[in-house]
Structure formats: structure tokens, C-alpha cells
Amino acid sequence: MTKALIVPSNRGTLKKIGWTIMILLALLMFLLASRYLIFNSKEVYFEQQKVIYSAHMMAILTHIVGSMMATILGPFQFLPKIITNRYLNLHRWLGRTYLMGVLVGGFGGLYMAFLAYGGLVARLGFGILAIVWLLTGLMAYQKIRRKEIQIHRQWMVRNYALTFAAVTLRLWLILFQVVGVEFIDAYITVAWLSWVPNLIIAEFIINRISPNQPSYTTA
Ligand code: HEM
């Protein structure tokens, strides 16, 4: 009895804390990326890639603008159902804009993956991330078109976990720097570490959102 009373409220508090951390980190990432748009100067570019970015300005800026849109809009799509249902039209438009961001950011990211710092292993990591990002976005879109709401939600959780790779990549890089790992080694590692664990956490979250429903049934 006590357990039944305590567990849901604890879960509610945990969700609120998780959402707050998510939006704060997303905002930070948004601001960090916006320096590319605000300051038209090579000084703010990723140090090791200044020459590449200058030569592929359109691609990197396209990637950044689309990705920024997805980063900042995503958390609002995960507000409690009572809110998203009340503002359903807004939820739909934010969702469409979010997926446009993923589409534009994803193709820009795929293009940039061929040029990424760190050589083949890093390029493969970023390239596969871009493809999985685009595919999970496509799955989320298809599911909502077919009104399979529960499964749509699950694909969106996976998709945003991948959007969040931009945040986790930078957090891992800070950690590696603190423990004294060479930047090049850290960079190659985070090309994978920034997103594979995120996907595992996404599966964990999905199982907690709908613990009684198998992941692949219709809503
Ligand atoms: C999730 C899929 C993503 C992929 C596959 C991807 C891929 C890439 C690649 C390959 C680069 C070039 C890296 C290099 O030169 O070594 C890059 C740079 C960049 N990306 Fe992404 N990215 C993704 C998500 C995001 C998101 C969500 C943001 C958020 C705004 C973002 C912001 C940036 C920024 C600002 C740069 C420039 C490098 C820097 O100054 O940190 N990316 N991205």
C-alpha cells in the first residue's frame, strides 16, 4: 500500500528532475552552437577543423541550424500527456518542425561525417549516427501518420536520445580532458560513445514508460 503511494510520486519527481536537466543541457548546447551563426568568424570554429569548415561552410551551417532546431524543440515534445494533449495543434507543429530539423541536420551531419576529425573510425561513428538519426526520425513520422501513438512516442525517445549525442559528446570530451586522455583518442572514442549508450538508455526509458506493453505492438 505504502509502496503504491510512494513509487508513482517518486517517479513523477524523477521525471521532472530529468526533464529539467534535459532542457537546461539542450539550451546550453543551443547557445554553444549559435556562436557559429552569431559570430561570422573562424575564431569560434572547432580549432582542428577551421580549414575544413571554411571550405564547407554551407554544409556545416546547414547541419548546425537543423540540429539546433531539433535540440531545443525536442524536450517540449516530452512534456506530460495532459499538456501535449491540451495543446495538440502546437505539439503537432513543433513535431513537424523538429523532424524537419532532424532531416536537415541529419543530411548535413552525414555530409560532414566524411570530413570529420579523427580519421576513419570517427567518420564511421558519426556517419552511422547520422543514418540512425534519420531513420529513427522516419520511423517516428511513419508511426504517427498511421496513428500508432505509443510506438511513435517510443521512436521519438530513441530519436531524441540521438539528438542528445551532441550534448553527451561534449560532456564525454570534458571528462576525458579532466582525466588527461589525448584529444585525438578522446575524439575518436566519443564519435561512438556519444550515442551508443544513449540508445541503451532510451530502451530503458521506453520500457519504463510503457512497462506493460511490448515495444512493438500497435497502440
Ligand atoms: C545526432 C546526429 C549528429 C551528427 C551525425 C553530427 C555530425 C557532426 C559532424 C560529423 C561534425 C563535424 C565534426 C568534425 O569536424 O570533426 C559536426 C559538427 C558540429 N555539430 Fe553535429 N552532429 C549531430 C548532431 C548535432 C546536434 C544535435 C547539434 C546541436 C546543435 C550539433 C552541432 C554541431 C556543431 C556546433 C558542430 C561544429 C563543431 C563544434 O564546434 O563543436 N550536431 N556534427
Instruction: Find the helix or strand (DSSP H, E) in which 177 lies.
Output: helix 165-178
Ligand 1 pocket test target in 22, 63, 111, 134 with most atoms within 8 Å of CB: 63
Provide mean pLDDT across the span 8-29.
90
| Residue 217 placed within a domain | no
Q: What's the pLDDT tens digit per position in 124-172?
A: 999 999 999 999 999 999 999 999 999 999 999 999 999 999 999 999 9
Residue-level pLDDT at 128? 98
Has residue 14 been placed in a domain?
A: yes
- The answer to whether residue 215 scores a pLDDT higher than 70 is no
Average the pLDDT over 21-34 and give the result. Answer: 97
- Collapsed DSSP state (helix, strand, coil) of residue 181: coil
Our mutation pick for probing the ligand 1 site, out of 44, 52, 64, counting the most ligand atoms within 8 A of Cβ, is 64
- Other CB atoms closer than 10 Å to residue 142's CB: what's the count? 13
pLDDT band at 218 (very low <50, low <70, confident <90, very high): very low
Which residue shows C-alpha cell 529513427? 136
Residue 198 lies in a domain: yes
Q: How many domains does the chain have?
A: 1
Nearest C-alpha neighbor of 162 from the set 192, 129, 186, 140: 129
CB-based contacts of 164: which residues, under 8 Å, 6+ apart?
22, 25, 26, 71, 74, 198
Is residue 86 classed exposed, middle or buried when 0-12, 13-18 and 19+ CB atoms within 10 A define those classes? exposed
Predicted confidence band of residue 123 (pLDDT cuts 50, 70, 90): very high
Residue 216 lies in a domain: no
Pairwise CA distance, residues 21 & 149, whole Å = 25
48 inside domain:
yes
If pLDDT is split at 50, 70 and 90, which confidence band does 8 have?
Answer: low
Q: Are 172 and 186 in contact (CB under 8 A)?
A: yes
DSSP class of 135: H
Residue in this structure with the C-alpha cell 571528462, named with its chain if needed: 175
pLDDT for 216 equals 37
* Axis crossing angle, helix 88-113 with helix 57-77, rounded to the nearest 10: 150
pLDDT in tens, 57-112: 999 999 999 999 999 999 999 998 889 889 999 999 999 999 999 999 999 999 99
> How many residues are recorded in the chain?
219
In a domain, 215, yes or no: no
The mean per-residue pLDDT over the stretch 207-219 comes to 51
The protein residue whose alpha carbon is closest to atom 40 in ligand 1 is 46
Residue 150 lies inside a defined structural domain of this protein: yes
- Look at the block and give the residue holding cell 531513420: 135
Average pLDDT of every residue of the chain = 91
Out of 52, 60, 61, 67, mutate this one to test ligand 1's pocket (max ligand atoms within 8 Å of CB): namely 67
> Which residue's C-alpha comes closest to atom 4 of ligand 1?
109
Domain that holds residue 189: 2-209
Instruction: Give yes or no for residue 177 having a pLDDT over 60.
Output: yes
Would residue 176 count as lying in a domain? yes
| Residue with CA nearest ligand 1 atom 7 | 109
User: Residue 7: what pLDDT?
Assistant: 62
